[in-house]
């Protein structure tokens, strides 16, 4: 528990001269920066000609930094292969779904599956690992940079061959594939794997079984690339390995991070979107079942590129972001970027120093955060985030399903956020979990907007409920198979038995007269609704009325072993107040049943994060997140850790925080 909090920044010394580098290091020390991340776009500097690798510059930089007490996270430079590679080998280009081959000049313009690209990539990584991987100060590796941030699935000829190989490995024979995808429809049937197309242009829509499988194939391939990088590094370097992922990139994060050492992520939420940030703390902290994660990139003031720049953070917002992050478990808090880019398309991006060396817009805030982290270090390094009792599933696969089948422009992320924000609003501490999570950590699990439920995950839910866990299923969960087809047994397949319901209709409920009636309110369902009949002992919690079909249920619960399974037939509309009330009361019922105790009901203005030290002493971080002010009444006595005063009520100014100790 004695790991220090790292306070860092992305750094591009290869773009600057000695004078600037000297100034940079002085200024870093002045604001409290103790680590930098380097190298992710520097392949050309490392290998200016094919095979001529020279890492002297970076070795010297790492040493110079270390001499100034600044540690280094070393990145593999694979997002930007050098021009000699793309020029001599145009066949390595990434090809998008309209069959455009991308030209050199941005990032991710090469197909990471191309053998020639991979050969060169692995060579430079091996050289880096060997020559730099054990230098003092190298505290971690980052693989590549934001996999898939600019691109989705590559459709090049190399990928076509790998796709066919992947399909053969998955289905063994083509008839199995034909049956699984139902290719008899529209004469899609294939007589060999070679005949299966990539999802390029057709006159109308592809079979979603094809598009969803192609997404899975691509997600697996990028992970293979990442894992091979990690294997090479581990041959020479013992520094832990991470990747800076993002919430919505087309990635299977759970698999990606399994053989890596810790999670890190990049996010650029604007003020007014603070919970977009907090949700990620709760997600990435939980991803590897542990508590170690980094904020690898966020802006000191604002993001931006030549084609658009959001407004800068208001005064103090950075403090709120940083304190929330470390309170929520971040072991590192890093900026992008240190010194404004002099050239390229990101010249408008906020930075700590300007290109001309003066203090950037966020400089004072950055310095203040440095001081705060210093001040909080003792308490942070002696405590850990208290394990939440509630887990809510954010599924990378669900996100991809809704790409293949967006229905009426349903945004998985936005829908998820409504449920997540409701939990925050209820003051309930939560993890945002993945399918592979260890459910025994939780009392209540929420599974919303998961179109396809893997059989193994379903069994896990059975076991969880049997052992006393509470599960919420829905809305919009389980209506597709994992091959992106429709069930033929029941609307929700085997899931209905777990729920103790019989779904009688499944249809788009927007613009109908349907009403969900329960918990003292009436609200309208949105998106696709699965009104159901309760089966056996299942208790109806809310009714579902419409002239379209017989009366049904909108919400129910059933005893399952020692636990309970709750089912929600449809997402309530957020227009007006009643939908939000319905949702909250439904979740409250489940939370009560689950005896959720770890919760701090405050208001929309305040975030609360409890932490425990190794003796079980509880500390509570309270942070104003709306830029107005917070006023929180506490139901027990707490002590202010900084002035030891007794506290029953807390007032916080805009973006201010406090830390309390339970008495």
- From residue 281, how far is each of 322, 324, 328 by CA, in Å? 11, 9, 6
Give min distance, CB of 363 to its own copies, in A.
9
- Residue from the set 203, 414, 614, 635 that interacts with its own copies by CB under 8 A: 203
- Residue from the set 2, 51, 201, 456 that interacts with its own copies by CB under 8 A: 201
- From residue 456, how far is each of 157, 339, 355, 503 by CA, in Å? 34, 48, 53, 22
Query: Tokens 């929180």 correspond to what residue?
Result: 632
* CB nearer to its own copies: pick between 5 and 85: 85
Q: Which of residues 207-226 bind its own copies (CB under 8 A)?
A: 207-210
Give min distance, CB of 371 to its own copies, in A.
19
Give min distance, CB of 190 to its own copies, in A.
6
Give min distance, CB of 302 to its own copies, in A.
7
Is residue 588 flagged as an active site residue? no
* CB nearer to its own copies: pick between 357 and 468: 357
The answer to the question of residue 418 lying near its own copies (CB under 8 A) is no
The answer to the question of residue 440 lying near its own copies (CB under 8 A) is no
* CB nearer to its own copies: pick between 49 and 438: 49
> Rounded to the nearest 5°, which phi and psi values hold at 105?
140, -15
The full 3-state SS of 510-543, as one line of letters, equals CCCCCEEEECCEEECEECEECCEEECCCCEEEEE
Query: Which of the following is catalytic: 131, 146, 254, 496?
Result: 146
* CB nearer to its own copies: pick between 348 and 381: 348
* 514-538 as b/e: b if 16+ CB within 10 A: bbbbbbebbbbbbbbbbbbebeeeb
The answer to the question of residue 452 lying near its own copies (CB under 8 A) is no
Q: Which of residues 356-415 bind its own copies (CB under 8 A)?
A: 356-358, 360-361, 364, 404-409
The answer to the question of residue 188 lying near its own copies (CB under 8 A) is yes
Kindly tell me the number of DSSP H helices and DSSP E strands found in the chain: 17, 30
Q: Are strands 571-572 and 507-508 parallel, antiparallel or unpaired?
A: unpaired
Q: Is 133 helix (H, G, I), strand (E, B) or coil?
A: coil
H-assigned helices in 152-305: 157-171, 174-181, 208-234, 253-257, 274-287
* CB nearer to its own copies: pick between 104 and 585: 104
Give min distance, CB of 511 to its own copies, in A.
4
Query: Which of the following is catalytic: 47, 153, 297, 496?
Result: 297
| 513 neighbors 519 (Cβ within 8 angstroms) | no
Instruction: Specify whether the backbone of 620 is left (phi greater than 0), alpha (psi in -120 to 50) or beta.
Output: beta
The answer to the question of residue 161 lying near its own copies (CB under 8 A) is no
Give min distance, CB of 179 to its own copies, in A.
10
The answer to the question of residue 56 lying near its own copies (CB under 8 A) is no
Q: Which of residues 87-116 bind its own copies (CB under 8 A)?
A: 87, 94, 96, 98-100, 102-109
Is residue 414 flagged as an active site residue? no
* CB nearer to its own copies: pick between 208 and 329: 208
Give min distance, CB of 216 to its own copies, in A.
16
Give min distance, CB of 529 to its own copies, in A.
11
* 326-351 as b/e: b if 16+ CB within 10 A: bbbbbbbbbbbbbbbbeeeeeebbbb
- Residue from the set 1, 30, 67, 185 that interacts with its own copies by CB under 8 A: 185
Give min distance, CB of 619 to its own copies, in A.
31
What is the sign, positive or negative, of the torsion defined by CA atoms of 110, 112, 114, 116? positive
Q: Which of residues 132-151 bind its own copies (CB under 8 A)?
A: 150-151
Size of the site for its own copies (CB under 8 A): 114
> Rounded to the nearest 5°, which phi and psi values hold at 652?
-125, 135
The answer to the question of residue 170 lying near its own copies (CB under 8 A) is no
- Residue from the set 56, 119, 191, 238 that interacts with its own copies by CB under 8 A: 191
Give min distance, CB of 305 to its own copies, in A.
6
| 249 neighbors 195 (Cβ within 8 angstroms) | no
DSSP letter assigned to residue 435: T
The answer to the question of residue 12 lying near its own copies (CB under 8 A) is yes
* CB nearer to its own copies: pick between 1 and 407: 407
Nearest to 284 by CA among 377, 144, 385: 385
Contact characters 280-309, its own copies, x per CB under 8 A: ---------------------xx-xxxxxx
The answer to the question of residue 1 lying near its own copies (CB under 8 A) is no
* CB nearer to its own copies: pick between 235 and 306: 306
| 560 neighbors 500 (Cβ within 8 angstroms) | yes
**Both ends of the chain: CA-CA distance in Å?**
22
Q: Which of residues 570-629 bind its own copies (CB under 8 A)?
A: none
> Rounded to the nearest 5°, which phi and psi values hold at 8?
-140, -170
Give min distance, CB of 431 to its own copies, in A.
32
Cβ neighbours for 511, distance < 8 A, ≥ 6 positions apart: none
The answer to the question of residue 120 lying near its own copies (CB under 8 A) is no
* CB nearer to its own copies: pick between 90 and 259: 90
The answer to the question of residue 59 lying near its own copies (CB under 8 A) is no
Among 200-208, 370-378, 581-589, 611-619, the segment contacting its own copies (CB under 8 A): 200-208
Among 244-252, 346-354, 570-578, 597-605, the segment contacting its own copies (CB under 8 A): 346-354
- Residue from the set 354, 497, 600, 618 that interacts with its own copies by CB under 8 A: 354
Q: Which of residues 480-509 bind its own copies (CB under 8 A)?
A: 485-491, 504-508
Element (H, E) at 640: strand 630-640
**Token digits of residue 80:** 């930007």
The answer to the question of residue 69 lying near its own copies (CB under 8 A) is no
The answer to the question of residue 82 lying near its own copies (CB under 8 A) is yes
- Residue from the set 23, 123, 248, 348 that interacts with its own copies by CB under 8 A: 348
Q: 544 - beta bridge partners?
A: 516, 552
* CB nearer to its own copies: pick between 98 and 649: 98
Cβ neighbours for 219, distance < 8 A, ≥ 6 positions apart: 250, 251, 252, 255, 396, 400
The answer to the question of residue 314 lying near its own copies (CB under 8 A) is yes
- From residue 657, how far is each of 9, 632, 662 by CA, in Å? 23, 12, 16
- Residue from the set 48, 136, 378, 520 that interacts with its own copies by CB under 8 A: 48
Contact characters 510-529, its own copies, x per CB under 8 A: xxxx----------------
* CB nearer to its own copies: pick between 48 and 161: 48
- From residue 417, how far is each of 191, 411, 491 by CA, in Å? 43, 10, 26
Q: Where are the beta strands (DSSP E) in 434-586?
A: 444-447, 470-473, 501-503, 507-508, 515-518, 521-523, 525-526, 528-529, 532-534, 539-545, 552-560, 563-568, 571-572
**Token digits of residue 179:** 């049956």
* CB nearer to its own copies: pick between 30 and 185: 185
- For the annotated catalytic residues, the residue numbers are 146, 297
């Amino acid at each position: 528990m004695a790991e220090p909090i790292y306070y860092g920044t992305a750094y591009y010394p290869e773009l600057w001269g000695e004078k600037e580098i000297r100034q940079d290091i002085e200024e870093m020390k002045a604001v409290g920066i103790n680590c930098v991340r380097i190298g992710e776009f520097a392949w050309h500097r490392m290998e200016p000609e094919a095979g001529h690798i020279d890492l002297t510059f970076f070795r010297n930089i790492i040493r110079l930094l270390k001499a100034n007490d600044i540690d280094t996270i070393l990145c593999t430079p694979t997002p930007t292969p050098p021009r000699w590679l793309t020029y001599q080998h145009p066949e390595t280009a990434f090809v998008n779904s309209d069959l455009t081959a991308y030209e050199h000049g941005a990032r991710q313009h090469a197909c990471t599956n191309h053998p020639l690209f991979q050969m060169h990539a692995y060579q430079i990584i091996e050289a880096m690992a060997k020559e730099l991987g054990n230098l003092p100060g190298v505290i971690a590796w980052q693989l590549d940079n934001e996999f898939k941030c600019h691109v989705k699935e590559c459709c090049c000829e190399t990928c076509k061959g790998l796709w066919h190989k992947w399909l053969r490995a998955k289905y063994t024979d083509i008839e199995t594939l034909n049956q699984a995808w139902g290719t008899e429809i529209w004469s899609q049937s294939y007589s060999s794997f070679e005949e299966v197309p990539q999802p390029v242009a057709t006159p109308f829509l592809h079979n979603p079984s094809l598009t969803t499988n192609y997404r899975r194939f691509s997600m697996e391939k990028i992970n293979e690339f990442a894992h091979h990088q990690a294997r090479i590094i581990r041959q020479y370097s013992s520094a832990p390995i991470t990747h800076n992922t993002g919430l919505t990139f087309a990635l299977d994060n759970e698999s990606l991070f399994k053989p890596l050492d810790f999670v890190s992520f990049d996010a650029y939420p604007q003020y007014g979107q603070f919970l977009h940030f907090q949700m990620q703390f709760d997600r990435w902290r939980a991803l590897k079942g542990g508590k170690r994660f980094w904020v690898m990139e966020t802006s000191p003031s604002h993001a931006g590129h030549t084609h658009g720049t959001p407004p800068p953070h208001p005064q103090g917002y950075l403090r709120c972001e940083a304190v929330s992050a470390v309170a929520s478990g971040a072991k590192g808090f890093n900026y992008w970027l240190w010194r404004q880019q002099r050239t390229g398309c990101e010249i408008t991006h906020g930075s700590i120093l300007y290109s001309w060396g003066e203090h950037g817009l966020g400089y004072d805030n950055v310095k203040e955060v440095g001081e705060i982290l210093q001040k909080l270090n003792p308490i942070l390094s002696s405590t850990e985030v208290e394990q939440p009792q509630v887990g809510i599933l954010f599924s990378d696969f669900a996100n991809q399903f809704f790409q293949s089948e967006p229905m009426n422009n349903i945004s998985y992320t936005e829908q998820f956020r409504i449920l997540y924000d409701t939990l925050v609003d209820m003051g309930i501490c939560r993890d945002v979990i993945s399918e592979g999570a260890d459910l025994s950590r939780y009392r209540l699990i929420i599974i919303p907007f998961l179109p396809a439920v893997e059989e193994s995950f379903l069994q896990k839910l059975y076991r969880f409920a049997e052992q006393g866990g509470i599960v919420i299923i829905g809305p919009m969960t389980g209506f597709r198979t994992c091959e992106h087809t429709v069930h033929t047994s029941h609307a929700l397949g085997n899931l209905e038995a777990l729920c103790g319901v019989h779904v009688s209709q499944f249809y788009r409920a927007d613009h109908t007269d349907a009403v969900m009636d329960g918990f003292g309110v009436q609200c309208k369902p949105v998106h696709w609704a699965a009104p159901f009949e309760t089966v056996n002992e299942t208790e109806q919690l809310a009714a579902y009325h419409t002239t379209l079909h017989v009366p049904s249920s909108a919400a129910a619960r059933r005893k399952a072993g020692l636990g309970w399974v709750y089912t929600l037939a449809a997402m309530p509309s957020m227009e007006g107040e009643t939908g939000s009330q319905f949702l909250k009361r439904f979740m409250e019922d489940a939370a009560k049943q689950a005896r959720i105790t770890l919760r701090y009901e405050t208001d929309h203005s305040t975030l609360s994060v409890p932490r425990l030290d190794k003796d079980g002493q509880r500390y509570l971080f309270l942070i104003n997140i709306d830029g107005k002010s917070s006023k929180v009444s506490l139901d027990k006595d707490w002590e202010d850790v900084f002035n030891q005063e007794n506290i029953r009520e807390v007032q916080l100014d805009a973006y201010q925080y406090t830390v309390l100790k339970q008495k």
